Amino acid sequence: MRIDPASHMQPAGTVLPPNDTCELLARRLRTDTQGEVLFDDGSRGRYATDASIYQITPVGAFVPTNERDIATAIDIARDLKVPVLARGGGTSQCGQTTGAALVIDNSKHFRRVLEVNVEEGTATVEPGLVLDHLNAQLKPHGLWYPVDVSTSAQATLGGMAGNNSCGSRSIAYGNMVHNVLGASAWLSNGELVDFGPVGSLGVRGAGIAQFVRGLARQHREQIAEHWPKVMRRVAGYNLDIFDNQSERPYTADGSVNLAHLLIGSEGTLAYTRSLKLKLAPLPRAKVLGIVNFPTFHAAMDAAQHIVKLGPTAVELVDRTMIELSLANPAFKPTVETALIGKPAAILLVEFSGATRPRCCLNSGSSSS
Ligand SMILES: Cc1cc2nc3c(=O)[nH]c(=O)nc-3n(C[C@H](O)[C@H](O)[C@H](O)COP(=O)(O)OP(=O)(O)OC[C@H]3O[C@@H](n4cnc5c(N)ncnc54)[C@H](O)[C@@H]3O)c2cc1C
């Protein structure tokens, strides 16, 4: 493997390490691990992209087969001063999984559900597990993981945690930060740390919590003044875990969970080894209302009133999307049943729960 000198400096300004460092990295990974070491041009080209518009050629890609491989790769990369970039499904849209780094792909071998506790309503999973695969395994228990990203057939739980992902039903269930109870993760120095409720942390976790609490205290006023008061935030770190600024508190009882610091950190604080997730009962009853609007603005304006009725999802579909779906023979017949005339926009409003809502007892799924 030789890296073309021209590719050392890439458009995004990121710089690849010198060739001899890259070669040494590949050699040491081959000798010390059982993983696939992919430093050829084709593999580096494949891993240069994700679902975003960015392209940055990585130093190389590494597909670990077991946890020891990951820990060893982190140690070698640290030793050679090569950045490490964890990757799940690579469906990020802002270039999160592209970089002049050693890309470590969890999606091939870290796909197991490690534990399901039906009574507690929790599951512990590996980071490369795809959301749909988790939910298929939970279904027989009457449970699901309700952070339903659109990319559920590709997105991995590790990537979802990295991005603080949300879904169409986040209005009811919250996003990742509200549904992760704990994480086990490697720090850049190779330490494996359990992140969870602050009261039950080990020595290293407690030290990190103390440090973060100090930072949060020191910057309390800035945090209160400038932290975006929104439900999903993925820019910057969740320094507000000690003084919640989120529209929806991170925990129901106001307690602090250090795992929430990692959510939305895009793999920059630690490398996730496993996640403990909060599950939800699968709703037994669902009803979908489709509301047609003459203008886009009217649809946007109505959403604020509709959310007060307690729906599980409110999705806006504009005329462009309506036209595109009508042009698709697979969707056309279904979409046509939802339209009254030629609306400028529609709102898909779902209600769900353990029993059929009273408002729906006399009707089927309706459009109005
Ligand atoms: C068409 C389309 C629709 C989308 N819809 C949604 C949506 O509805 N909701 C939504 O939230 N997003 C959506 N996205 C964005 C993306 O699909 C999600 O954020 C998804 O959860 C990312 O999962 P992934 O496995 O692909 O993560 P990746 O893209 O592989 O990684 C995401 C981040 O997590 C980090 N990471 C991955 N594994 C680890 C690990 N083991 N340890 C530490 N860090 C790790 C990565 O370094 C990266 O920073 C959409 C994207 C597309 C293309």
The CA 24 to ligand 1 mean position distance, Å, reads 30
SS3 27: helix
Q: Which ligand 1 atom minimizes the distance to the CA of 162? A: 34
The CA 97 to ligand 1 mean position distance, Å, reads 9
Rounded distance between C-alpha atoms, residue 248 and residue 300, angstroms:
21
pLDDT of 338 reads 93
pTM of the model: 0.92
In the chain, what are the helix, strand and coil shares in percent, each to the nearest 5? 35, 20, 45
pLDDT of 51 reads 97
Q: Which residues on adjacent β-strands are paired with residue 292?
A: 346
Using alpha carbons, select from 113, 68, 66, 111 the residue that is nearest to residue 89. Answer: 111
Rounded distance between C-alpha atoms, residue 327 and residue 340, angstroms:
17
The CA 355 to ligand 1 mean position distance, Å, reads 33
pLDDT of 234 reads 82
Give, for ligand 1, the residue of 148, 149, 315 to mutate: max count of ligand atoms closer than 8 Å to Cβ: 149
pLDDT of 233 reads 81
Give, for ligand 1, the residue of 87, 103, 192 to mutate: max count of ligand atoms closer than 8 Å to Cβ: 87
Tens-digit pLDDT profile for residues 51-63: 999 999 999 999 9
pLDDT of 162 reads 97
pLDDT of 205 reads 97
Ligand 1 environment, Cβ below 6 A: 50-51, 85-93, 96-97, 106, 127, 149-151, 154-156, 158-160, 162-163, 165-167, 266-267, 271-272
Q: Which residues on adjacent β-strands are paired with residue 103?
A: 61, 85
Token pair belonging to 169: 């039903």
Q: Which residues on adjacent β-strands are paired with residue 156?
A: 130
The CA 163 to ligand 1 mean position distance, Å, reads 6
Query: Which of the 8 DSSP states describes residue 232?
Result: -
pLDDT of 7 reads 54
pLDDT of 291 reads 97
> Which domains are present in the chain?
5-105 (3.30.43.10), 113-281 (3.30.465.10), 285-367 (3.30.70.3450)
Residues 322, 339: contact at Cβ < 8 Å?
yes
Residues lower than pLDDT 50 in the chain: 359, 361-368
The CA 363 to ligand 1 mean position distance, Å, reads 38
Give, for ligand 1, the residue of 67, 92, 169 to mutate: max count of ligand atoms closer than 8 Å to Cβ: 92
Query: For residue 25, which amino acid is it?
Result: L
Closest CA to ligand 1's atom 44: 267
